[in-house]
Amino acid sequence: MVRLQSYVLLGFTAFALAAASPATKRRTPLIKDSLPQVPRGWTLHRAAPAHHMIKLRIGLPQSNFAELEKALHEVSDPAHPRYGAHLSKEEVEELVAPHPESLDLVEDWLISHGFDVATLDRSPAKDWITIIVPVHQAESMLDTKYNVYKHEATGMELVRTQSYSLPEYLFEHVDVIQPTTMFGGGMRAMDTTSHIELDDSEPGASAAADDCTNTRITVACLQDLYKTKGYVPKVPGKNKIGITGYLEQYANFADLKQFYQAYVPAAVDSKFDVKLIHGGKNDQNLSLAGEEANLDVQYAGGISYPTPNIFWSTGGSPPFIPDLVTPTNTNEPYADWLDYVLGLSAEELPQTITTSYGDDEQTVPRDYAIRVCNELAQLGARGVTLFYSSGDFGVGGNNKTRNTCITNDGTNTVSFLPAFPASCPYVTAVGGTTNLTEVAVNFSGGGFSNYFPTPDYQKKEVESYLEKIGSTYDGLYNRTGRGYPDVAALGTSFRIIYQGRDVGIGGTSASSPAFAAVISLVNDALIAKGRPPLGWLNPWLYSTGYAALNDITSGSNPGCNTTGFAAGPGWDPVTGFGSPNFEKILALLDLEK
């Protein structure tokens, strides 16, 4: 009976639309994005308060992104005449600016909902418009219903909707609006990948800085292993490395000083610069020091010293434990950080950036993931090398059980779960190794994207690997997806100072700053010779750069009740092409140590 009523209603709706005028049809709300079900782990808790304020970000199509992508490939391809001729901030903004028609139509829509377009908050390229509205107005504008959703395991709450609509005439003029359908990974929109392995509970270092074992890795160990020892940066005033921080992960200066005293004495009086984004903080109360933030600044800084380090602390860690007045936090840290960094001048923008945070790809709506990835491409076009840790759950994404690998598309299909932004083809994803004679560490995130196709620069390597494994895991992953990671570095037993104690820590979030610091030194050598930095690394890496890496040929990344992918000669979705050899990289680039 219910099904019959649905058919009758659908038939009536179709008749009504057919009878409507063309102008009315174009203003008919059509679903822009929807979720087939509430994401796993979340339950609908209650209706969102009508007057709760939401910051909506409206992404307009970037009219010449194809030209930007073409330029990105040309300036990043060692075989192209434009190699190294990175674009300026202004050139990038011109290519991503929306078409005037899109601006006009979106502005008219906003005017119809009472906004003064002269006061709108816009990105420099005008491809993003940000508005702050109460829930009831957002519901009217997007023909939707916002609810408070509760995370079953943590009790955290989040204001989101399972679908939203736009007038038909706006469909081609709006890429994405968030926060709407993005719930984020597991219980947080972003998640670190580090984990404390060992707690000595003793202040200070327990052994010499260069005492290296499989269970004790220091800066000196990495300098020896990756052949950077003895290199003194030549242009630290021109070359910089950036480190992202989220989730109220605070990088502590007292811990850094103690770390340098123990492991990098020459750097003991140096610090990192702190930039606070969208309400970000960096509280120096020692009890609030973050293990992830400390790991990142201590190793990125320790390996690259005296290269200036910039630590960005971005506010917003949705969702959070609510109080009776404010049920949720609707910030989107990805977008807030990108807004800030894309607005930096050439002098302010670091040549190398490392990030140790990410989501399961499937928890990020496809349109939003694509848009974020395209924003990252803008940084690459400007000459920035972006590193992202590949995750710590093997082929199982960021699912902490590692064996419950189910899609959230309504089909409940068993599947490997790729990670994002590591799956974005415009970043260099870093997997993990273990032991001084490196093998793949069993938690190294890796696999194939369900959102992004295999890019041309890696098709040969991906096809070769898939040919080797044949039908193994057929149906569990996307054979035509972007393969990751691209490279790897040690990710176990790093010694850090955390809240005044010398402890061990591991994760691919250790691997990413370690690899990034080595490349930052390469950029220093390039800039000292009057040459441009490497920029987007992958075209160089897949064409020639792989020859300067330490190929990791054993180990695997189990998950989802499987043994995962296996490392082997050449590229593999566990360790990529392997770990860095600084001396070989310099030789390949015709540079001297």
- Give the domain CATH number at 385: 3.40.50.200
Bridge partners for 133 per DSSP: 54
Mean pLDDT, rounded, for 14-40: 68
Same domain membership, residue 165 and residue 232: no
Cα–Cα distance measured from residue 223 to residue 244, given in angstroms and rounded to the nearest whole number: 23
Mean pLDDT, rounded, for 255-262: 97
The rounded Cα 266 to chain-centroid distance in angstroms is: 32
Q: Is residue 71 part of a domain?
A: no
Which residues neighbour 315 within 8 Å (Cβ) at sequence distance 6 or greater?
276, 277, 278, 279, 280, 281, 331, 333, 336
pLDDT of residue 104: 96
Same domain membership, residue 214 and residue 146: no
Among 127, 151, 178, where does a domain finish? 178
Nearest Cα neighbor of 581 from 224, 253, 313, 319 is 224
Residues 326-342: tens digit of each pLDDT: 344 444 677 889 999 99
Q: What are phi and psi of 170, to 5 degrees?
A: -95, -10
Of 194, 444, 509, 511, the catalytic one is 509
- State the CB neighbour count (10 A cutoff) for residue 470: 8
Q: Is residue 277 part of a domain?
A: yes
**570 in a labelled binding site:** yes
pLDDT of residue 184: 66
- Dihedral sign of CA atoms 282, 284, 289, 292 in order: positive
Which residues neighbour 250 within 8 Å (Cβ) at sequence distance 6 or greater?
281, 282, 283, 284, 288, 289, 290, 293, 313
Instruction: Provide the domain count of the chain.
Output: 2
Residue type, 283: D
Same domain membership, residue 360 and residue 328: yes
Same domain membership, residue 279 and residue 401: yes
Please state which of the ranges 33-47, 151-165, 499-513, 548-562 shows the lowest mean pLDDT. Answer: 151-165
- Greater pLDDT, 52 or 453: 453
Please state which of the ranges 36-50, 285-299, 369-383, 424-438 shows the lowest mean pLDDT. Answer: 36-50
Active site residue 524: no
Cα–Cα distance measured from residue 160 to residue 196, given in angstroms and rounded to the nearest whole number: 33
The answer to whether residues 267 and 305 touch, using CB atoms and an 8 Å cutoff, is yes
Active site residue 296: yes
Give 492's DSSP letter.
S
Among 153, 178, 203, where does a domain finish? 178
Residues 284-333: tens digit of each pLDDT: 999 999 999 999 999 999 999 999 999 999 886 543 334 333 344 444 67
* Burial readout 424-459 (b: 16 or more C-beta within 10 A, e: otherwise): bbbbbbbbbbbeeebbbbbbbbbbbbbbbebbebbe
Cα–Cα distance measured from residue 105 to residue 101, given in angstroms and rounded to the nearest whole number: 6
Of 33, 248, 292, 524, the catalytic one is 292
**456 in a labelled binding site:** no
Residues 409-434: tens digit of each pLDDT: 888 899 999 999 999 999 999 999 99
Bridge partners for 568 per DSSP: none
The answer to whether residues 397 and 405 touch, using CB atoms and an 8 Å cutoff, is yes
Active site residue 444: no
Which residues neighbour 15 within 8 Å (Cβ) at sequence distance 6 or greater?
none
3-state secondary structure of 223: helix
For the chain, state the CA radius of gyration: 24
Residues 129-148: tens digit of each pLDDT: 999 999 999 999 999 999 99
Mean pLDDT, rounded, for 442-454: 97
Same domain membership, residue 234 and residue 308: yes
Q: Is residue 528 part of a domain?
A: yes
Instruction: Assign 13 a pLDDT band (cuts: 50, 70, 90).
Output: very low
pLDDT of residue 417: 93
Please state which of the ranges 103-112, 190-199, 265-274 shows the lowest mean pLDDT. Answer: 190-199
**108 in a labelled binding site:** no
Q: Is residue 83 part of a domain?
A: no
Please report, rounded to a whole number, the percentage of residues in the chain having pLDDT higher than 70: 88
Same domain membership, residue 147 and residue 245: no
Same domain membership, residue 544 and residue 455: yes
**524 in a labelled binding site:** no
Specify the residue for token string 């609509």.
165
Q: Which domain range does residue 318 map to?
A: 191-588
Q: Is residue 15 part of a domain?
A: no
Q: Is residue 6 part of a domain?
A: no
Same domain membership, residue 162 and residue 216: no
Same domain membership, residue 381 and residue 323: yes
- Average per-residue pLDDT for the chain: 89
Same domain membership, residue 359 and residue 305: yes
Tokens read off for 480: 């035509």
381: exposed, middle or buried (C-beta count within 10 Å: 0-12, 13-18, 19+)? Answer: buried
Q: Are strands 481-484 and 447-453 parallel, antiparallel or unpaired?
A: antiparallel
273: left (phi over 0), alpha (psi -120 to 50) or beta: beta
Residue 396 confidence (pLDDT) above 50:
yes
Among 178, 211, 245, where does a domain finish? 178
Same domain membership, residue 200 and residue 104: no
Q: Is residue 76 part of a domain?
A: no
pTM for the whole thing? 0.91
Of 77, 255, 291, 296, the catalytic one is 296
279: left (phi over 0), alpha (psi -120 to 50) or beta: left
Mean pLDDT, rounded, for 108-129: 94
Same domain membership, residue 197 and residue 109: no
Q: Is residue 81 part of a domain?
A: no
Instruction: Assign 5 a pLDDT band (cuts: 50, 70, 90).
Output: very low
pLDDT of residue 42: 87
The CB-based long-range contact list for 330-333 (8 Å cut-off, 24+ gap) reads: 330/54, 330/55, 330/159, 330/179, 331/55, 331/278, 331/279, 332/57, 332/178, 332/179, 332/182, 332/189, 333/189, 333/190, 333/246, 333/278
Residue 392 confidence (pLDDT) above 70:
yes
Bridge partners for 148 per DSSP: 46, 159
